Amino acid sequence: MDEKTSSDRIYDMHAEICKMLSHPTRLKILGQLKDGKKTVGDIVNHLGMNQPTVSQHLGELKKTGLVRAERDGSNMSYELIYPEIMDACDIVKDILFKELSRNQDLLDQGGDDEYG
């Protein structure tokens, strides 16, 4: 029984998207694209990264189906295919800040009596 079910394939695809969202550079690039189409040069200039690195990550995002590319003369522009992916990123960021706040609250309390 090596055949994957439809559900298994969907989980695999879900994991691939999550993997794309697990790299800080790709998150930064997606953040640049949230307001619309940008050229590779625009992204490179704004993020202060080198062009090959940005292009490599854009290629990965394109392969996963999160962004699309369009050539305009010598410039390559990218845009989000599903802008709502940024909603998912925002939810994760909100959880991160809640966790940071919770951890800070624990530090501020000095732990419980056993450690205080």
42-89 tens-digit pLDDT: 999 999 999 999 999 999 999 999 999 999 899 999 999 999 999 999
Q: Has residue 1 been placed in a domain? A: no
How many other C-beta atoms can be found within 10 angstroms of the C-beta atom of residue 60? 17
Contact 26, 60 (CB under 8 A): yes
Domain count, the chain: 2
Q: pTM here?
A: 0.82
Distances (CA, A) of 75 to 36, 39, 40, 52, 58: 16, 6, 7, 14, 14
Residues 78 and 97 in one domain: no
**Do you know the residue count of the chain?**
116
Residues 20 and 62 in one domain: yes
Residues 62 and 77 in one domain: yes
Residues 12-48 have pLDDT tens digits of: 999 999 999 999 999 999 999 999 999 999 999 999 9
Which domain, by its residues, includes 92?
A: 84-116
**CATH code for the domain of 49:** 1.10.10.10
First to last CA, the chain: 56
Residues 75 and 91 in one domain: no
Residues 65 and 103 in one domain: no
